Amino acid sequence: MTTIAVFNQKGGVGKTTVTANLAAALARHGAAPLVIDLDPQAHLTAMWRVTPKPGDTILRFYQGTSGISDLVQQTRHGIDFVPSHLELSKVDTQVVRHRDHVWRLKLGLTAEMLAGTDVPILLDCSPMLGPLAFSALFAADLVLVPVAADFLALNGAVLLDRTLAGLAKFQPRIPRRYLLNRYVPGQVTSEKVLGQLSQRWGSELMRTRIREQEVLGAAAGTGEDIFAFAPESGAAHDFSFLLDELVESGLLRL
Ligand SMILES: Nc1ncnc2c1ncn2[C@@H]1O[C@H](COP(=O)(O)OP(=O)(O)OP(=O)(O)O)[C@@H](O)[C@H]1O
Ligand SMILES: [Mg+2]
């Protein structure tokens, strides 16, 4: 099975939106994933209306006082979920004392036999490049990189490329795919970013594009995924297509 880290060092590019709606697409497909909120901002936790105490979150796993499985809650979408809390930022700020944190997630998922099962795992990462993000990258079979179609998009993607290249000395190259988000067909900036991405990462650029659609924000505001909120929308279509492409290309095995 597949562990996907949804990551980009650039903030606000759609990591949480992609995690939530890809999780929903999987659940509709009968392959509900395990989703872990690895972002101290805890946006996904808030979006899914989970209000945990710090001790009920992935923080405890990083503190070494709980397994991952013990922290799993079921969301109202029927998805197994490990929430986050603002205090998770401690993991990123105490780098020196906790160097082993970067391997902890991979080791934990393996030891608890969560990785490599029929259940896909999605990791919603924070934009901060610290131990939490590295732990997600080390645990991942695939790094899915949402890139928002704005004028700084390529800067963020190039930065990320350098980060991933830097990890090559620790482990084999992690497969990655760039996913254009907030795409407006025909709009000059969107088409320019698409052109630049395909020129630079053609084979690693997903054919699926998530279009700019206000309904995605509206759905998030109600705590619903796009399939429940607007099943006939273009956004629901885009996320179905994303799942199909991941499966058809063998990147996600169900
Ligand atoms: N395709 C889209 N169309 C319209 N709005 C979108 C789209 N994708 C994301 N958004 C909106 O952009 C904002 C940022 O998205 P999101 O929180 O998913 O980004 P993020 O990368 O997780 O941010 P952070 O780096 O802070 O974790 C949200 O308000 C979200 O609703
Ligand atoms: Mg986010």
**Structure tokens of 50?**
């989970």
User: What is the structure's pLDDT at 97?
Assistant: 59
The reported pLDDT for the residue numbered 96 is 53
Q: Distance from the CA of 41 to the center of ligand 2, in angstroms?
A: 7
Ligand 1, atom 18, lies closest to the CA of: 14
Strands (E), the chain: 3-6, 34-37, 73-74, 80-82, 121-124, 142-148, 176-183, 205-211
Mean pLDDT per block of 10 residues along the chain (254 residues) reads: 91 96 96 96 96 94 94 92 95 71 91 87 94 94 95 85 84 90 96 94 95 97 95 98 97 88
Which domains does the chain show, CATH number per domain? 3-248 (3.40.50.300)
pLDDT at 158: 87
CA 188 – CA 172 distance, rounded (Å): 37
Token code pair at residue 163: 């980060």
195 lines ligand 1 (CB under 6 A): no
Burial 131-168 (b: 16+ CB within 10 A, else e): bbbbbbbbbbbbbbbbbbbbeebbebbeebbebbeebe
User: What ranges make up the beta strands (E) of 125-204?
Assistant: 142-148, 176-183
Which residues neighbour ligand 2 (ion) by CB within 5 Å?
A: 15-16, 43
CA gap 74, 27 in Å, rounded = 12
